[in-house]
Amino acid sequence: MKNIFSILIFLNFQFLFAQVKNTYTLEECVSIALEKNISIQQSEFDLDGADIDRLDAIGSFLPNINAQSQHIWNNGLSQNITNGLIENLTTQFSAFGGNLGVTLFNGKQNINQLARANLNIISRQYQLEDMKDDISLFVANSYLQVMFNKELEQVQRYQLELAQQELKRTKLRIAAGIQTQAEIYEIEANLASQEQALVQSENATRISLIGLAQSLLITDYENFDIAEVDYNIPLSQILLEKPKNIYEKSLTLRNDIKVAATNIEIAKKDIDLAKGALLPTLSAFYNYNTRISYSDRFIETGNLIETPIGIVKENGSVVVTQFPEREVTGPFSFGDQFRQNDGHSYGLALNIPIFNGLSLKNNIKRRKLNLKRSENQFEQTKLDLENTINQAYNNAEGAYKFYQASEKTLKARKEAYSIAEKQFEAGVLNSFDFIQIKQRYEIASSDNIRAKYDYIFKLKVLEFYFGVEITV
């Protein structure tokens, strides 16, 4: 019984914990996005590929070492050493070899290739950081959108509570004979309108939360939420800076500028590589080879064999000659043949390019054109950055002024609503006029929230270009 009770308590706690939503701060959302974003992972793969290219460039300084071996069966007419006849025989032998080659000079192409590979790694790193910046800004915008929808939802919820209270007061005044039954319809219509507005606001909050979760590759939408933050208008000195100062500082910070500048250096190295192909190439080489045969062979036995070769005419005596006696035996041992049959060759090789169908010179021209493109792209990137910063500055400044105006409007609408509420309770103001004043107050509240978050995001964009970390 005690065990069953313990299990029930455990399951109850598990259920309670399962109902708790997972809340995330902006910093946590940005961290998750940077970790899971597929585009960032692709950019990291590109960086890994650039590092492999650097290893290739390092390898061009090292010698090339290769080994070869082959075993050959030769089937055809050949002399049989045991009987001296030409027969169809199958013979076999093995061959082994190795070579070593090293480049002594190739127009500094290996040096330039290594320098280019290092520059490419730097460029890929800047591209990765630039992508991370863009993802961070996108997540911050999505996060602020959720905050805006949540705050707007709270306003709508508060307005609904006010409408419910107004309906109760109106019913009491009708019961007391202060107001007529006809006035309750405007109040009920206003209450229904507030209920619709709250539903729309709740849907907007949910949709923005789902959008943020999807950007983080989180699929548990039901338990995903952002941390509750009482966020007010931030104090920032960025608008006191001149756009020119922001631009000049941004030139030293922005990764897209660094990418464009690095691409110019890469284009210059490409020209050096193309020019290096016009210079002579000097290399050293060493080759080794040996051969192993598996055929039988003759060996001398140490005995001499006399064989008549003619007769002396005068006396008829036989003329003989002697030759060493031989016998058939197997081949030399593998090790003996490997040492006896080996050969070595070494030397220097000089290759001088004289004419290659204009391909080398045309390649240099193409590389120079690419350098001009990179330089133009660099200037265009700077112009785009300057235009973006000027636009961002004007947007932030205009959004701040609009927010200040919405604050004044909200303050006035709130005061008007407070007065109208007292007049309505006193029976001086009819329900239609009261609802009109209340709706203008609601619109002013929504406009104020919208202006607030529009200013916050545009301010964050401007701070982003100034090198300020994105936080809320």
Mean pLDDT of the chain: 86
Query: Residue 211 CB: number of other CB atoms within 10 A?
Result: 12
pLDDT > 70: percent of the chain:
92
pLDDT band at residue 253 using 50, 70 and 90 as cut-offs: very high
In angstroms, the CA 170 to CA 172 distance is: 5
Contact 29/212 with Cβ under 8 angstroms? yes
- Of 168, 248, 148, 224, whose CA–CA distance to 452 is shortest? 148
CA distances from residue 234 to 123, 265, 457 in whole angstroms, order as listed: 35, 41, 11
CA distances from residue 247 to 238, 398, 415 in whole angstroms, order as listed: 12, 19, 43
**Tens of pLDDT along 49-71?**
999 999 999 999 999 999 999 99
| Token pair in block for residue 56 | 């290739």
pLDDT of 304? 80
Contact 416/441 with Cβ under 8 angstroms? yes
- On the question of pLDDT at 232 being above 90, the answer is no
Contact 472/26 with Cβ under 8 angstroms? yes
Specify the DSSP class assigned to residue 248. H
CA distances from residue 18 to 7, 206, 321 in whole angstroms, order as listed: 16, 19, 112
**Tens of pLDDT along 90-136?**
888 899 999 999 999 998 999 999 999 999 999 999 999 999 999 99
**Tens of pLDDT along 452-467?**
889 988 888 898 888 8
pLDDT of 472? 63
In angstroms, the CA 156 to CA 51 distance is: 55
pLDDT of 408? 94
The mean pLDDT value for 169-198 works out to: 81
The mean pLDDT value for 341-359 works out to: 90
**Tens of pLDDT along 276-330?**
999 999 999 999 999 988 877 777 777 888 788 778 777 778 778 887 877 777 7
pLDDT band at residue 202 using 50, 70 and 90 as cut-offs: very high
pLDDT > 90: percent of the chain:
49
The mean pLDDT value for 29-33 works out to: 93
Name the CA dihedral angle for 426, 432, 435, 440, rounded to a multiple of 10 degrees: -120
- On the question of pLDDT at 182 being above 50, the answer is yes
Q: Is the dihedral of CA 255, 260, 262, 266 positive or negative?
A: positive
pLDDT band at residue 13 using 50, 70 and 90 as cut-offs: very low
| Token pair in block for residue 112 | 């330039």
In angstroms, the CA 81 to CA 329 distance is: 10
**Tens of pLDDT along 141-154?**
999 899 889 988 98
* Half-sphere exposure in the Cβ direction for 234 (13 Å, CA): 18
- On the question of pLDDT at 359 being above 50, the answer is yes
- On the question of pLDDT at 7 being above 50, the answer is no
pLDDT top residue among 72 and 296: 72
Packed helices 255-276 and 109-175: angle between N→C axes, nearest 10 degrees: 160
